[in-house]
């Protein structure tokens, strides 16, 4: 990536992307573009209104100039989406030498943020899902080919900020695509061992420590709830513990604990799911993916924070040995759980993840992410994660991060009355509320029971946002949700 402050008007890059905002500055900007390129102004004015994601292509000598509309008030999420969508749609027209010129952009978004949105969006737009095809492979996106070069032409005063922003945009995009690969992978290609190997390889490459417990160690440690979910499975479970600190740590760092649900496939267990959309349950490790990706991205960016990541991982399958509704199981916390529904398995493995985290690491802030309930999807649809927290300040910080990044969260309550639903006659708690209502909230209350009353805890139910419809695939696919949100949260609050 190259950052420059001037464009050579005699020699444009073969592909030049020019973001433009709609509104009062547009006529002037188009006037200058007409002067530079010799394209008649009237034609430009007629063809291009700079509405969000409008694209108009000019042929200037050997080069193509793509005017990209960012609308009137694009924030970071809108700009990101416009660049991403452009890179995807124009894959065939783009050259490997691509320029992005902010010279004519006069919108509200500062140059550094526009740069980050451009780099992050363009790279995400190159994502290809067909990893397991043997023929009809799509061509490699020009921006990902060996000789690809991306040049950003930015205002001189913002050059240094833009350089940092471009690198951040690229670092985050590459990790987002790696976790999208994980979430999109079918369960037979991502056994729990694959998540564990991913973490180990990532830790080695980016310099953070990873400890992986295998089944024997999980047994010796007493992670009983994870073992209970794994009873129906052929593949052994793993318990992944990651720890990151910046290389040059100055003073005391805030300690943030992240836990992610790593169910590599959720059949429901004996409380088996209907088959129609069961294939989507390969995405039931979306919370784990968000935690893995955040660890990696934080290490790449050397964020000034002490991060602990915990991922319990198993699939939830059917077998003679599988746990049955009514079984009472133990857990790492020592508390017993009456299993009413084996499909409420995510909360079981997270119960051990959370209890292990609070006992061994005592983080200042504790955040878990999980594709936990269909109830959260029925409540907020595919547009926002359900946020639960016992700490108003933390909830607000996560909400602000979601506004900045476009990875939306919306808070739901955690009032004690909802916990009454989980009282069991035979064990310390049951894994399902008595009535089939407010399921996302009772799930959150269940998790809270295993946080050892941590005063700064937040839970994100990402069932609706980790995996969904997109303009890039015909079936639902991974969104990469969580990495950008958490990195933004960490950057602004630690």
Which residues participate in catalysis according to the annotation?
Answer: 273, 347
Q: What CA–CA distance (Å, rounded) separates 42 from 336?
A: 74
Instruction: Please tell me whether residue 368 binds Zn ion under the rule CB under 5 A.
Output: no
Going by C-alpha positions, the residue among 298, 404, 2, 405 that lies closest to residue 166 is: 2
Q: What CA–CA distance (Å, rounded) separates 236 from 191?
A: 8
CB-nearer residue toward Zn ion: 273 or 411 = 273
CB-nearer residue toward ligand BES: 116 or 343 = 343
Instruction: Please tell me whether residue 346 binds Zn ion under the rule CB under 5 A.
Output: yes
Going by C-alpha positions, the residue among 87, 91, 92, 99 that lies closest to residue 125 is: 87
**For ligand BES, which stretch binds (CB under 6 A), given 39-47, 236-244, 341-349, 352-360?**
341-349
373 binds, among Zn ion, ligand BES, none (CB under 5 to 8 A by kind): ligand BES
339 binds, among Zn ion, ligand BES, none (CB under 5 to 8 A by kind): none
Residue from 463, 478, 483, 490 touching ligand BES (CB under 6 A): that is: 463
In the complex, the smallest distance separating the C-beta of residue 236 from ligand BES, rounded to whole angstroms, is 20
Residues 269-308 that bind Zn ion (CB under 5 A): 284
Residues 365-394 that bind ligand BES (CB under 6 A): 371-375, 377
Query: What x-and-dash track marks residues 134-173 binding ligand BES by CB under 6 A?
Result: ----------------------------------------
Q: Which long-range contacts (CB under 8 A, 24 or more apart) does 7-11 make?
A: 7/99, 7/101, 7/103, 7/153, 9/36
In the complex, the smallest distance separating the C-beta of residue 441 from ligand BES, rounded to whole angstroms, is 12
Residues 274-293 that bind ligand BES (CB under 6 A): 284
Residues 415-444 that bind ligand BES (CB under 6 A): 432, 439
Residue from 343, 352, 421, 448 touching ligand BES (CB under 6 A): that is: 343
Binding site for ligand BES (CB under 6 A): 266, 268, 284, 341, 343-346, 371-375, 377, 432, 439, 463
């Amino acid at each position: 990536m190259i950052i420059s402050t001037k464009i050579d008007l005699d020699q444009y890059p073969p592909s030049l992307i020019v973001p433009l905002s709609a509104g009062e500055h547009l006529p002037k900007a188009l006037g200058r573009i007409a002067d530079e390129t010799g394209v008649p102004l009237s034609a430009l004015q007629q063809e291009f209104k700079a509405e969000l994601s409008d694209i108009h292509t000019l042929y200037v000598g050997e080069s193509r100039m793509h005017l990209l509309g960012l609308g009137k008030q694009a924030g970071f999420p809108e700009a990101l989406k416009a660049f991403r969508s452009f890179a995807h749609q124009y894959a065939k027209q783009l050259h490997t030498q691509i320029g992005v010129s902010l010279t004519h952009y006069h919108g509200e978004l500062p140059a550094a943020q526009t740069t980050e949105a451009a780099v992050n969006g363009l790279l995400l737009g190159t994502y290809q899902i067909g990893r397991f095809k043997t023929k009809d492979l799509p061509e490699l996106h020009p921006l990902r080919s060996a000789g690809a070069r991306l040049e950003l032409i930015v205002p001189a005063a913002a050059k240094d900020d833009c350089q940092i922003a471009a690198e951040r945009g690229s670092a985050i995009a590459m990790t987002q695509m790696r976790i999208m690969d994980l979430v999109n992978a079918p369960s037979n290609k991502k056994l729990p061992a694959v998540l564990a190997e991913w973490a180990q390889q990532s830790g080695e490459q980016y310099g953070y420590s990873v400890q992986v417990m295998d089944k024997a160690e999980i047994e010796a440690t007493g992670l009983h709830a994870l073992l209970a979910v794994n009873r129906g499975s052929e593949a052994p479970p793993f318990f992944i513990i990651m720890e990151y600190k910046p290389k040059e740590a100055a003073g005391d760092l805030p300690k943030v604990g992240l836990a992610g649900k790593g169910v590599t496939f959720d059949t429901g267990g004996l409380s088996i799911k209907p088959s129609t959309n069961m294939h989507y349950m390969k995405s039931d490790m979306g919370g784990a993916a968000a935690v893995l990706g955040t660890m990696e991205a934080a290490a790449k960016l050397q964020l000034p924070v002490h991060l602990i990541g915990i991922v319990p991982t198993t699939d939830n399958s059917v077998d003679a040995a599988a746990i049955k509704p009514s079984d009472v199981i133990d857990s790492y916390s020592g508390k017993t759980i009456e299993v009413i529904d084996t499909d409420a398995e995510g909360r079981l493995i997270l119960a051990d993840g959370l209890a292990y985290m609070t006992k061994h690491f005592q983080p200042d802030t504790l955040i878990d992410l999980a594709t936990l309930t269909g109830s959260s999807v029925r409540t907020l649809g595919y547009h926002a994660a359900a946020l639960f927290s016992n700490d108003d300040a933390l909830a607000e910080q996560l909400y602000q991060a979601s506004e900045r990044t476009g990875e939306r969260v919306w808070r739901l309550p955690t009032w004690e009355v909802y916990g009454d639903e989980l009282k069991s006659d035979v064990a310390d708690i049951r894994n399902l509320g008595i009535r089939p209502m407010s399921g996302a909230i009772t799930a959150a209350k269940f998790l809270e029971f295993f946080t050892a009353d941590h005063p700064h805890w937040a839970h994100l139910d990402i069932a609706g946002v980790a995996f969904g419809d997109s303009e890039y695939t015909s079936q639902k696919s991974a969104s990469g949700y969580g990495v950008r949100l958490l990195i933004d949260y960490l950057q602004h609050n630690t």
